[in-house]
Structure 1
Amino acid sequence: MRMWCIQAACAAFLVAGGASAIAAEHVVLQKGKAFSTKKISVKLGDSVKFVNEDPFSHNVFSLSDAKSFDLGSYGQGGAKSITLDKPGTVEVECAVHPDMKLVIEVSK
């Protein structure tokens, strides 16, 4: 009986501890030569998925210190993701459409 209680307590601890460590995925749509939002706030370890709903290609990139990346070009129906692994401000743009801008605030 005592062994079962210890196992149950350990399992409860692992489940509770694991639940708070789960990263979230945020989806940002690309439609009408615009991001679906101008600014989002995420937690460290979260990911942002960019989904192209336009009938032409987009190229999402950032030169920010908090996250520098270039997802390359992808067409309608395509999606690419990034994981935010450093706190700070990430300024995102589209190389194809320079008016497309998004700010991601990454907090601990």
Structure 2
Amino acid sequence: MTPFRIPALAAAALLSMAGAASAAEHVVVQKGKAFSANKLSVKLGDTVKFLNEDPFSHNVFSLSDAKSFDLGSYGQGLAKSITLDKAGTVEVECAVHPDMKILIEVAK
């Protein structure tokens, strides 16, 4: 390995760690068969935690190009999270309660 390559690898590692350190967690509460917000703006790499405060199960999912996922069913007091790793609009719904919707805008 050349002496010039070591500093470049160290710089890349530091940049990677700095990106992870600046990521934020956003909490969306599910209560009264509704999300706590209709829209949410986040940055690339942020995490959204969906916390169920209803006395019944929810199933959070998205079929969006920016983030496709299905968190499965989970009951009261439980939470599940996603990390948003692509910029764009993520339309999130509950499979159990079709009126529950939230738009998440993911910025670079």
TM-score normalized by the length of structure 2: 0.82
Partner of 1:37: 37
- Number of aligned pairs? 93
Shift of 1:91: 0.1
For residue 76 of structure 1, give the secondary structure of its aligned residue in structure 2: coil
Q: CA RMSD in A?
A: 1.6
Superposed, which structure 2 residues align to 1:54-65 within 5 Å? Answer: 54-65=54-65
Partner of 2:47: 47
Structure 1: which 4+ aligned runs deviate by more than 4 Å?
none
2-structure distance, mates of 1:61, 1:94: 6
Superposed, which structure 2 residues align to 1:82-93 within 5 Å? Answer: 82-93=82-93
Shift of 1:22: 1.4
Does the CA contact (< 8 Å) of 2:37 and 2:102 recur in 1? yes
Aligned-partner residue type, residue 101 of structure 2? K
Q: Structure 2: which 5+ residue stretches go unaligned?
A: 1-13
Correspondence 1:70 to 2:93 = no
Percent identity among equivalent residues?
83
2-structure distance, mates of 1:77, 1:88: 29
For residue 104 of structure 1, give the secondary structure of its aligned residue in structure 2: strand
- Residue by residue over 1:41-79, the C-alpha shift from the partner in whole angstroms, topping out at 9 and shown as x without a partner, is 000000000000000000000000000000000000010
2-structure distance, mates of 1:24, 1:93: 22
2-structure distance, mates of 1:28, 1:74: 14
Instruction: Give the greater-gyration-radius structure (CA).
Output: 1
